[in-house]
């Protein structure tokens, strides 16, 4: 390809509202352009990489025995009403009416569509197992689209759905997808880690894993053990509960003390006022779970994990109570809430119950209680794991290692759905003994456009992108230093045509630009192999440099071509 003809509008500077490194580089290197918030056009370079990512996904899906289909983006609302998800999702679900005023959604995912398809066609266990997948545009009206393709409103997803006769079959389908995902991300050059995750709204009974590309821009936090393979999204991460040290005879228990704490509401103010560590306090937060008030108590140095609380209460909706509700149930302004005198359910984290005594709000303005002890004052609290894991917690799996924290970009998510959709949508089959049963399903997603950004996040430096060979838009960048020097141009053209004939995707920078501009652009667009044809062209000597290495090799024509073919 001649660069003078390539539609690749590069920018010296990225727009100031582009914060993520990948977003800035993809705009500057002319890979994408924004049409509207969260909505992008892929320019030729970006499209070439996206197509290679799709191809790797496709090969591994086919290799795993999945069959490719292509479903519509327009989905009748009736399907979402049958699965009773139409009301569950709010403004994120894009809804529209057709010319006959019938309601449709622009598909954010395809559980309903694929289940409706299969219920009409699969009715015997002999047709199982079967996994179908597609690579297709998804629509989710994100409130705050950002970071370029990392969080878009229209994006490319590979979504696969498995159908089995029983749970053993699902476990096999799930593992087959799980292993295919590991191969896909490795082939894309992505440093990725599978973590245990929370099934969230999609539900499903059997667990779920997220595949996280480690990156500082990542919006997910991963807790990983430094001694074994345990890793989990912070939403779900657990830890070995420390056993309550036996602190000698109960006589040490002191009487409750009423402490005057004027306007001291936050834990850090209490720490300041009492000169104690945050772990000496009991932090009480008032939530409403499906509208009903509930108190959650964690130690002062911990944070409430709302996913864990929501799952423990099997609540659909959990949110911090508004000020009015909190004051009504505690009898005090926020900041003085505590367990004593509350007549709403109390969830107390294990670490609080392991305290001998703590300082807690007195449910009275400007007062706290000292020497609150769990045996007396939290006897009827519901004990559980309600806090976020913290770095240094003991690994729940091996009990030896400690949890370390990392940021990641979720590029894949696999779920064991069970019968969540086959029941509501009535997708059944006749099993071996002739009884009708709902299909056992799994679903498996990869954000293909998000993958593009994640690769750039992990493979770039201050000069630009460093494409892994497997997905680079071109393999070799041939650069004649001066377009006006006939010897250089002739040799460069010769090399480019030799490589092209050998099936190596080659970009020839035939622009009449200063050498500095050519080299800056070459670093920016990140083609893995660069062959420079400069002043030694007359002797047939060229320079070869790899984008991810500093050394420059002086080679003759055949050596250079052989090196590029490797």
Footprint of ligand 9G3 (CB under 6 A):
89, 92-93, 108-109, 111, 140, 159, 202, 413, 415, 443-445
Residue 350, burial from CB neighbour count under 10 angstroms (0-12, 13-18, 19+): middle
Minimum Å distance from CB 415 to ligand 9G3? 6
Residue 370 in contact with residue 256, Cβ under 8 Å? yes
Minimum Å distance from CB 107 to ligand 9G3? 8
Closer by beta carbon to ligand 9G3, 61 or else 378? 61
CA-closest candidate to residue 504, choices 565, 566, 557 = 565
Closer by beta carbon to ligand 9G3, 79 or else 452? 79
Closer by beta carbon to ligand 9G3, 110 or else 545? 110
Closer by beta carbon to ligand 9G3, 110 or else 302? 110
Minimum Å distance from CB 86 to ligand 9G3? 9
Secondary structure string (H, E, C) spanning 149-168 = HHECCEEEEEEEEEEECCHH
Minimum Å distance from CB 413 to ligand 9G3? 5
Report which secondary-structure segment, H or E, holds 48: helix 44-63
Residue nearest to ligand 9G3 (CB): 445
Minimum Å distance from CB 109 to ligand 9G3? 3
Minimum Å distance from CB 27 to ligand 9G3? 26
| Bridge partners (DSSP) listed for residue 292 | 289
Closer by beta carbon to ligand 9G3, 337 or else 452? 452
In sign, the C-alpha dihedral spanning 406, 410, 414, 418 is positive
The whole-angstrom separation of Cα 177 and Cα 199 is 17
CA-closest candidate to residue 144, choices 307, 17, 276, 334 = 17
Residue 387 in contact with residue 351, Cβ under 8 Å? yes
Cα atoms found within 13 Å of the Cα of residue 35, Cβ hemisphere only = 9
Closer by beta carbon to ligand 9G3, 444 or else 474? 444
Closer by beta carbon to ligand 9G3, 159 or else 509? 159
Minimum Å distance from CB 444 to ligand 9G3? 6
The whole-angstrom separation of Cα 314 and Cα 288 is 13
Minimum Å distance from CB 94 to ligand 9G3? 7
Question: Which pairing describes strands 346-349 and 292-299: parallel, antiparallel, or unpaired?
Answer: parallel
Minimum Å distance from CB 157 to ligand 9G3? 7
- Cβ-proximal residues to 36 (8 Å cutoff; 6+ apart), any chain: none
Closer by beta carbon to ligand 9G3, 42 or else 415? 415
Residue 342 in contact with residue 282, Cβ under 8 Å? no
Token look-up 């392991």 returns 354
Burial track 518-529 (b if 16+ CB lie within 10 A, e otherwise): bbebbbbbbbbb
Closer by beta carbon to ligand 9G3, 37 or else 562? 37
Minimum Å distance from CB 123 to ligand 9G3? 24
Minimum Å distance from CB 50 to ligand 9G3? 18
Minimum Å distance from CB 195 to ligand 9G3? 15
Listed in order, strand segments (DSSP E) in 170-264 are 192-196, 208-214, 220-225, 231-233, 257-260
The whole-angstrom separation of Cα 223 and Cα 401 is 12
Listed in order, strand segments (DSSP E) in 113-272 are 130-139, 154-164, 192-196, 208-214, 220-225, 231-233, 257-260
Closer by beta carbon to ligand 9G3, 111 or else 196? 111
The whole-angstrom separation of Cα 1 and Cα 504 is 11
Coil, helix or strand at residue 103: strand
Closer by beta carbon to ligand 9G3, 453 or else 488? 453
Closer by beta carbon to ligand 9G3, 142 or else 513? 142
Closer by beta carbon to ligand 9G3, 310 or else 545? 310
The whole-angstrom separation of Cα 506 and Cα 67 is 33
Question: Which pairing describes strands 358-364 and 292-299: parallel, antiparallel, or unpaired?
Answer: unpaired
Q: How many residues does the chain have?
A: 566
User: What letter would DSSP give residue 108?
Assistant: S
Minimum Å distance from CB 445 to ligand 9G3? 2
């Amino acid at each position: 390809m001649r660069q003078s003809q390539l539609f690749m509008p590069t920018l010296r500077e990225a727009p100031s509202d582009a914060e993520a490194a990948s977003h800035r580089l993809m705009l500057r290197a002319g890979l994408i352009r924004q049409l509207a918030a969260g909505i992008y056009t892929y320019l030729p370079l970006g499209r070439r990489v996206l197509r290679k990512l799709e191809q790797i996904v496709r090969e591994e899906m086919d290799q795993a025995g999945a069959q490719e289909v292509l479903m519509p983006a327009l989905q009748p609302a009736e399907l979402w009403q049958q699965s009773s998800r139409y009301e569950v999702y709010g403004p994120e679900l894009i809804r529209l009416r057709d010319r006959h005023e019938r309601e449709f959604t622009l598909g954010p995912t395809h559980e309903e569509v694929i289940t409706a398809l299969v219920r009409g066609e699969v009715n015997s266990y002999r047709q199982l197992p079967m996994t179908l997948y597609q690579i297709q545009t998804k629509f989710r009206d994100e409130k705050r689209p950002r970071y370029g393709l990392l969080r878009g409103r229209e994006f490319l997803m590979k979504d696969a759905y498995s159908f089995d006769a029983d749970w053993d079959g699902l476990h096999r389908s799930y593992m087959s997808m799980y292993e295919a995902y590991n191969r896909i991300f490795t082939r894309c050059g992505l440093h990725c880690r599978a973590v245990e995750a929370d099934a969230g709204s999609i539900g499903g009974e059997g667990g779920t894993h997220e595949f996280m590309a480690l990156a500082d821009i990542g919006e997910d936090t991963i807790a990983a053990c430094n001694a074994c393979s345990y890793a989990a999204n912070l939403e779900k991460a657990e830890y070995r509960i420390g056993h309550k040290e036996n602190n000698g005879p109960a006589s040490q228990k002191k009487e409750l003390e009423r402490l005057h704490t004027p306007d001291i509401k936050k834990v850090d103010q209490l720490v300041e006022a009492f000169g104690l560590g945050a772990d000496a306090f009991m932090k009480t937060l008032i939530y409403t779970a499906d509208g009903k008030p509930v108190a959650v108590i964690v130690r002062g140095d911990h944070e409430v994990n709302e996913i864990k609380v929501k799952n423990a209460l099997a609540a659909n909706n959990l949110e911090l109570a508004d000020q009015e509700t909190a004051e009504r149930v505690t009898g005090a302004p926020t900041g003085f809430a505590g367990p004593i005198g509350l007549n709403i359910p109390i969830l107390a984290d294990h670490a609080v119950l392991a305290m001998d005594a703590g300082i807690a709000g007195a449910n009275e303005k400007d007062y706290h209680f000292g020497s609150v002890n769990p045996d007396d004052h939290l006897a009827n609290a519901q004990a559980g794991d309600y806090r976020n894991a913290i770095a240094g917690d003991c690994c729940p799996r091996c009990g030896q290692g400690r949890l370390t924290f990392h940021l990641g970009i979720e590029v894949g998510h696999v779920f064991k759905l069970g019968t969540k959709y086959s029941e509501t949508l009535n997708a059944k089959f006749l099993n071996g003994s002739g009884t009708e049963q709902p299909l056992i399903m799994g679903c498996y997603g990869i954000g293909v456009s998000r993958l593009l950004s994640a690769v750039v996040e992990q493979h770039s430096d201050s000069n630009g992108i460093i494409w892994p060979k497997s997905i680079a838009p071109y393999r070799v960048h041939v650069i004649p230093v001066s377009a006006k020097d006939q010897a250089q141009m002739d040799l460069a053209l010769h090399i480019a045509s030799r490589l092209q004939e050998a099936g190596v995707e080659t970009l020839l920078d035939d622009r009449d630009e200063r050498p500095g501009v050519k080299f800056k652009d070459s670093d920016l667009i990140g083609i893995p192999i660069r062959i420079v044809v400069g002043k030694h062209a007359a002797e047939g000597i060229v320079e070869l440099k790899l984008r991810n290495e500093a050394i420059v090799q002086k080679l003759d024509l055949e050596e250079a071509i052989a090196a590029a073919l490797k």
